[in-house]
Structure 1
Amino acid sequence: MKKYLSLILLVLAYAYSNAQVRSPRNAEELKALFLNAESEQILVCAHRGDWRNAPENSLQAVQNCMEMGVDIVEVDIRKTKDDQLILMHDRSLDRTTTGKGKISDWLLADIKDLRLKNGAGMKTDHKVPTLEELMLLIKGKPILVNLDKAWDNLPLAYAVLKKTGTLNQAIFKGNEPLFKMREQWGAYMDSIMYMPMVWPEHHSIYKRDSIQSPRAYTQGFYTNFKPVAFEVIIESENSSVLEAMTLMKDQQTSIWINTLWSELCAGHYDDLAQYDPELHWGWVIKAGAQVIQTDRPAKLLDYLRTKGLHP
């Protein structure tokens, strides 16, 4: 009898364990996991999508991410001459498309006649997507989007998200103190998922706004507000930003760390991590990351899955 009871308990424990790490089935489940700072699971954000295998900021780059199991995709937002929002990092069309000149000088219809270039600068068959096209692609699916460079066009971006019913899948970010955010955008701040960026103490925002430290800047966001996460920039292993991260952990707020290049993550960046993931991505996780933004999503996913750290 005891043997049967032990077997039943083992089966139940296994089932419970699997339920805890089950992959999110939809956007709401993924959002809940993103907001859960106590989760041991690490989420992966792909910088500009899967740009090594498709043009950056293209729908195909996002589709590739969904197929490999990426949790969040980072894209860049720019505004055309006729106030339409497209996905593009640069202010000009030159580097990533077959066109030339400032995006702000082009109508969307004319941009749609262009083709995107791949990482080698060669023309592809892919077109420049709009923010609306992106959000319709991911709507309801288990993936979130980090909207970079969207802050100056918040009302336009918000309108697109409302129209497509995808407000619950979009993360906005910025690096101004909360009081400035509220002065500029008022009620928008309570209607979006907002993630402040926390820079090292020598950054100009501290002197400009008379903020004493990254920790003090972070503390300011807990005044009648709670961010969905903080994106932290850690330039060295003794950075004062680590003190701010202690406060974030105490407040049970998710921490987002970029491993794109050395200055963002105390030297533990992707190009080193792909050869020694434990030393570098492992360090980032031990520092407190719940989300890692990477230029090598497939390799990061492989590492996390072997450690049982990805749902």
Structure 2
Amino acid sequence: MKTKIFLILIVFFSELFFGQSKISLSGFPDDKVMVIAHRADWREAPENSIPAIKKAIEKGVNMVEIDLALTKDNVLILMHDKTIDRTTTGKGSPSDYTIEEIKKLFLRDGLGVPTEMKVPTLSEVLDVTDGKIFINLDKAFDYFDLVYPILKEKKMFDQVLFKGTATYDEFNKKYGKIKDEIHYMPIVRLGSGEDWSKINGYLKNHKIYGFEFTIGPDENYLINFKEIQKSKIKIWVNSMWPQLCAGHNDDKIFENPDVYNWYPDHHVNMIQTDRPKELINFLKKKNLYFLNE
């Protein structure tokens, strides 16, 4: 009997101390490049789906970007578009449906073919990602009052990155009381006239996690990211389409194997991609890849 109790205690404390590790955005190395899968790994499974997130985890992706929407009965789900027409077997706005009704629909794959997969809730997704992969929440600004208690209950603030287009004053008004609890990343569109006023607003007033920069189709508006990094702030650039990254987009990898060199050469250390496998292979060769642990 004593032996049985002893073995049970060993299992309990092993789970407690050596079980699922908690990954940390705060602890991600500054000298490595974070790989972010756009709408999760949508080439392998429907965008914003749990299988697409699991595929990203299998590939060693550091973070998945997901989009939030709200059902009629105030449940947060993953959905990119304003309607569910393109990505599900239903039609209309997410707010036209209760969560029970949404769960009766099926997700479509990238070609529009219905699958057997369901629309996930934010809570369901966080249960899958906890301790394995970081989350970037897009379209979450309007739903923050609903997102915050979920993250607080699950103790996942250091695994989730919020982003938005807000200026510092707008951000401070919305998040002021709890801004030190969350990781936030402003989106800055270079050449829009807002760039340096927005950048300086944050640099002078609050330690953010990073800036997401939209550069344009060429380098006419490119700035010196190295200067910003001196403040221990990360630089995020999207590689999905040429108009976001001065023409150094993912699909160029098939014409020019060195296209991704542009990112570390310009001090970019967060890349959102539609080609996570190819990007990870490149970063491994350059010793710039870090596996979440």
Q: Same fold (TM over 0.5)?
A: yes
CA distance in 2, matches of 1:187, 1:154: 13
Match of 1:234 among 199, 211, 215: 215
CA distance in 2, matches of 1:274, 1:215: 35
Q: 1:174 to 1:241 in 2, by over 3 A?
A: farther
1:44/1:71 contact within 8 Å kept: yes
Q: 1:68 to 1:161 in 2, by over 3 A?
A: same
Structure 2 counterpart of 1:292, one-letter code: I
The 5 A counterparts of 1:1-311 are 26-29=21-24, 31-33=26-28, 36-37=29-30, 39=31, 41-141=32-132, 143-202=133-192, 206=194, 214-243=195-224, 245-278=225-258, 280-311=259-290
Seq. identity, %: 39
Q: Please, what is the CA RMSD of the aligned residues?
A: 1.7
Q: Secondary structure at the match of 1:277?
A: coil
2:65/2:138 contact within 8 Å kept: yes
Q: 1:241, CA displacement in angstroms?
A: 4.3
In proportion to residue count, which structure has more helix? 1
Q: 1:275, CA displacement in angstroms?
A: 3.4
Q: 1:269, CA displacement in angstroms?
A: 0.3
- Normalised to the residue count of structure 1, the TM-score between the two structures is 0.83
| 5+ residue gaps, structure 2 | 1-19
Q: Number of aligned residue pairs: give it.
A: 271
1:265/1:284 contact within 8 Å kept: no
Q: 1:165, CA displacement in angstroms?
A: 2.2
Per-residue CA deviations over 1:38-78 (Å, capped at 9, x if unaligned) read x1x21100001110110000000000010110000011000
Structure 2 counterpart of 1:195, one-letter code: M
Structure 2 counterpart of 1:28, one-letter code: I
- Normalised to the residue count of structure 2, the TM-score between the two structures is 0.88
Q: 1:237 to 1:284 in 2, by over 3 A?
A: farther
Q: 1:240, CA displacement in angstroms?
A: 3.4
| 5+ residue gaps, structure 1 | 1-24, 207-213
